Structure 1
């Protein structure tokens, strides 16, 4: 048993190259030799299912694909700096907004949020042919693309002369498609780890990349997990030469469609006009003095008074009432097909005594059920005995409907809403529509009030706004994680798009909170703000300053705080960023307690006396609420006056029962 602190930096996470190798080694030890994979041995172990290296396979290929895939396996090298001054209700909120390149951020989140996200909704930048702003070795230039694709010779000359069947514009187009795919591919691969087995991803896209994105999604998520390509008709373009292309798509995939089917998951939404009809039914019942016939007449009159294009007209048959005042329509009681066990007993109206003939195929239910429905007032008897009774069907039983794969909503609605929120000065021309987002988030989570929603192309923050709207509507506790690149904008009051994201969420939160009734349960309208930055730990670069060992003893970047170091430690160890945190002052520095399962102390100049004080404080705090979980202690690697003090501290912790010791 070691008494030293193991470096946090040695840990690996799911999806990272080292972790993938460890998984292979556990599954196929014969195929991993001295930390490398023997591809031939692995192919032998897989047998006939292993394709030869020269095999042709169906799928999408493009220059730069292999490098894009490799990028997804790299561990994150940076950290997130907490920004409480940019945040709202930092201590209590569970919402997160992160500014920085989303691939690096997703890699940072991978350890703590693998299999924890319920919905991913992204509206990535459409491929307009312009240079991508995600310029981080993930995008090749057109010249680089042409070289990789074999369209330039060894001297870099473009081969488009005599005998070439490749037009210049086709070459340029292929380069732009490759660049866009190389941007999307690693991000989708990392995102796949974050989604729960029951989770769903929705990706908005237009015609330019829809076909390629569909094949890419099939590769990452599996074609067997494809759910739908939803068409959103957003308006008409009368200036179009040929066809008014006013639609976009939403590609929807499950992490595991088989799991959703095993759960018998079904996506349903309330029919348009349902709430209005239900409310009117209650009014008619009360105004009629609980008289069924009078209430029916009132409902018929109300339906006639509604506009012909009103959505309530689709529910115009709901004019009947059950004895308890439940609004209902009528439905057929005749059996659809003849079976030997069908009930064929005649039934009569208890009021008029009229007996009704048995239908050709009998009744739809058993005899006991038939007479029970009659006695409880669930049947509608007609004056003509040749016409069989009909069954009253409560409105509540038909409230849900399957969403269509095509829907229409003008895109101008979202722009106007954002303009109102920013008091007439909308910072975005084409923001996402919160109504559309709320609808689909609610549908795919089956209204789960605790769902976690991720959007790593956050834009103005519409997804966060939609989540807060949903929580306000039903009292849920959904939370969001938004990631937005620090893209510069030329706009008064805002330096980056992320500035707009945060301001939009502040305004939306205030607006939503102001509309809540005094007796309503409080909802989370806050967020924690973080910014992507280089690691708090100095990278070794062999400069003269670092070659001076006395100056290199402190391995932390100047200006970083203990709170900054805490966040990096949480990211590297796979701890969620909103894990409950308590702090106490011990020996001149903060002692952090993360939900009782992890303690961190980043004090410096720790002597033996201070180390003993910290060890006693750690044990006492842990014992206040002892649990069954293993407790980890993390310290600053260079926080001790000498190595002997550090070893003594480790021994004291082991003696106190702490089993996992780490350093950063």
Structure 2
């Protein structure tokens, strides 16, 4: 039986460096020399001069290389479940913890699985919190901050503009998180990032590097609330004006993504009144240049193909001749089914179109562009309890969801989830669009609120989700069919549950006595179960059945694809019960994991492996 030792890949999150090297090896094997990547050979294969790479255009800062390496360094951290019933199949997740470590934990289980990411990171205004990442310690820094290591939790620190590392600290915070986020996006996935002017330009350069300039889609702007703070100084002159909007950067994972249309409500006049617009545009297509009412353009093109335009010309002639004295063009268009097109020519017209115009009919909605200033950036929600200033407007996030074209059974992720505005927006968007399978993953650092009733921001977020869920479950009859209304599985970041995966080999002799049981004290079978799921690449919403075999608890994952036994005093009779369970589940391929110290004796352990292999289960491991 193979024991999963410290160096085994299933003790850590996905090793992104090894993954990348293996991809290079498959494409350019000559670049691997004595088992190591030779960067100079790789550059030569790509036709690059290795001596000029440092001169290329890009954004550089102190700590960038270290931040990138840390992002790709696997972690042994795990996500421990809060109390929830395994029998309740919940697809939504709420995770408490430093999002850098959490994103690493999710790499195997959710790689290329997320359709939509929205984040609202700290803007680096000089007053907001910036994560103080320690690239040498990672999880240790987080556990100290949250008081989980017996030390006093530290207070959130502002990234003061007087700090010499003002931009550097922020860049080192956001850079590794975006590297990891990209891996989670599916090929037609998209990320939206809210940001203000302090770091907009730096963020765009970072995203160009991580996602690729070709995958930059748009920068949207949304409106801030008006501030009157400058009014008192207006008469004496103002050095700067109040900023009235924020940016939302949008990048796709690949060229496979396309926006879906989104419409804002039209004005009352626009809903009832059409207007005329020039029929010419400047795209150079000679085949789309033809005669309309005595004029053929010499450059550019008409908007529609000839047969459609000819019909529209005739439609307007018919209207003018037979109906113009009886009704308006809007009334005629409505009476004929709201489908007719119209073209006319004003003989006094000038310009490229020489008076040729097409009629734009009334519309209830106006196709959106990047100007989202009809929507406020922040908006209070009636579902929020506790102290939380300036929550993101769910109306804004719902527009972004609409633009993303998110579909049934896809996943929304927000790893700076704050008060959980994204969760509320996802729930309400799913209900409105009958997306029964839409689900969400929220990740948030448990920052202190100073409120004894809801002492952490994560308490505010979870309470808000509960309030939203309860409200909509009371409002709609078919609420049980919506995944987003089922509630959520709650997890929190912590060290691995297993002692042997954290061995310091320099202190090995003093630790051996502790390994009679590899599982740490105060860790439950569910803790270990979900760590195994993560390290094996199973999503955290994977169906798990707990069954009893001779009073021993056995976890069956995805109908027997993985069977986990973490009990003590395992006998051959228990192993035979596992074989019977596999037979009942009719699983074509089964992996089995035991606790290494869980067998009654070594003879049982040896015979268990042989018995399982005899019945076709070759993948048997212990932890």
- Which TM class, normalised by the smaller chain length? 0.7 to 0.9
Correspondence for 2:142: none
Is the counterpart of residue 429 in structure 1 residue 394 in structure 2? no
1:524 is paired with a residue whose SS is: helix
> Matched residues in 2 for 1:199 and 1:433: separation?
22
> Matched residues in 1 for 2:318 and 2:81: separation?
65
Q: CA deviation at 1:475?
A: 1.8
Contact 1:487 1:496 (8 Å CA) reproduced: yes
> Matched residues in 2 for 1:29 and 1:237: separation?
60
Change (3 A) 1:343 1:179: closer
Correspondence for 1:531: 492
**Correspondence 1:402-417 to 2 at 5 A:** 402-409=367-374, 411=376, 414-415=379-380, 417=381
Is the counterpart of residue 661 in structure 1 residue 620 in structure 2? yes
Contact 2:220 2:248 (8 Å CA) reproduced: yes
Q: CA deviation at 1:510?
A: 1.1
Q: Which of 213, 221, 226 is the equivalent residue of 2:211?
A: 221
2:121 is paired with a residue whose SS is: coil
Task: Choose 1 or 2 for highest CA Rg.
Answer: 1
> Matched residues in 1 for 2:285 and 2:195: separation?
50
1:313 is paired with a residue whose SS is: helix
> Matched residues in 2 for 1:108 and 1:268: separation?
35
Q: CA deviation at 1:468?
A: 0.4
Correspondence for 2:249: 251
- 1:265-314, CA deviations, whole angstroms, 9 ceiling, x for partnerless residues? 343113415xxxxxxxxxxxxxxxxxxxxxxxxxxxxxxxxxxxxx2321
Contact 1:68 1:186 (8 Å CA) reproduced: yes
> Matched residues in 1 for 2:88 and 2:6: separation?
26
Which structure 1 segments of 5+ residues have no match? 141-168, 274-310, 319-328, 345-357
> Matched residues in 2 for 1:343 and 1:17: separation?
58
> Matched residues in 2 for 1:82 and 1:440: separation?
31
Contact 2:130 2:173 (8 Å CA) reproduced: no
Correspondence for 2:322: 383
Correspondence for 2:473: 513
> Matched residues in 1 for 2:98 and 2:480: separation?
38
2:55 is paired with a residue whose SS is: coil
Correspondence for 1:57: 56
Correspondence for 2:18: 18
> Matched residues in 2 for 1:50 and 1:659: separation?
49
Q: CA deviation at 1:248?
A: 0.9
> Matched residues in 2 for 1:339 and 1:34: separation?
59
Contact 1:7 1:663 (8 Å CA) reproduced: no
Change (3 A) 1:339 1:42: closer
1:48 is paired with a residue whose SS is: coil
Correspondence for 2:543: 580
Correspondence for 2:191: 201
> Matched residues in 2 for 1:338 and 1:109: separation?
49
> Matched residues in 1 for 2:47 and 2:61: separation?
27
> Matched residues in 1 for 2:161 and 2:479: separation?
63
Q: CA deviation at 1:6?
A: 5.3
- 1:366-387, CA deviations, whole angstroms, 9 ceiling, x for partnerless residues? 59x969x99xxx9756437999
Change (3 A) 1:464 1:343: same
Q: CA deviation at 1:34?
A: 4.4
Q: CA deviation at 1:14?
A: 4.8
1:458 is paired with a residue whose SS is: coil
Change (3 A) 1:527 1:448: same
Q: CA deviation at 1:206?
A: 0.6
Is the counterpart of residue 612 in structure 1 residue 576 in structure 2? yes
Q: CA deviation at 1:413?
A: 6.2
Q: CA deviation at 1:449?
A: 3.2
Contact 1:342 1:364 (8 Å CA) reproduced: no
Is the counterpart of residue 555 in structure 1 residue 518 in structure 2? yes
Correspondence for 1:316: 272
Contact 2:127 2:160 (8 Å CA) reproduced: no
Contact 2:114 2:189 (8 Å CA) reproduced: yes
Change (3 A) 1:606 1:338: closer
> Matched residues in 1 for 2:201 and 2:445: separation?
26
Q: CA deviation at 1:431?
A: 0.5
Correspondence for 1:189: 179
Aligned residue pairs, count: 552
1:125 is paired with a residue whose SS is: coil
Correspondence for 2:263: 270
> Matched residues in 1 for 2:403 and 2:362: separation?
18
Contact 1:342 1:366 (8 Å CA) reproduced: no
Is the counterpart of residue 568 in structure 1 residue 531 in structure 2? yes
Q: CA deviation at 1:59?
A: 0.5
> Matched residues in 2 for 1:53 and 1:364: separation?
51
Q: CA deviation at 1:42?
A: 3.0
Q: CA deviation at 1:196?
A: 0.9
After the TM superposition, which of the residue ranges 400-409 and 174-183 deviates more from structure 2? 400-409
Change (3 A) 1:339 1:535: closer
Correspondence for 2:75: 76
Q: CA deviation at 1:632?
A: 2.1
Q: CA deviation at 1:27?
A: 3.2
Change (3 A) 1:333 1:139: same
> Matched residues in 2 for 1:82 and 1:653: separation?
30
Contact 2:31 2:41 (8 Å CA) reproduced: yes
Change (3 A) 1:568 1:523: closer
Moved over 6 A (4+): 329-334, 336-344, 361-365, 384-391, 395-400, 542-546
Is the counterpart of residue 129 in structure 1 residue 126 in structure 2? yes
- 1:577-608, CA deviations, whole angstroms, 9 ceiling, x for partnerless residues? 10122221123322222223222221222233
> Matched residues in 1 for 2:563 and 2:16: separation?
26
Q: CA deviation at 1:518?
A: 6.3
> Matched residues in 1 for 2:451 and 2:616: separation?
56
> Matched residues in 2 for 1:397 and 1:661: separation?
68
Q: CA deviation at 1:77?
A: 1.6
Correspondence for 2:355: none
Which structure 2 segments of 5+ residues have no match? 138-158, 231-237, 297-303, 341-360
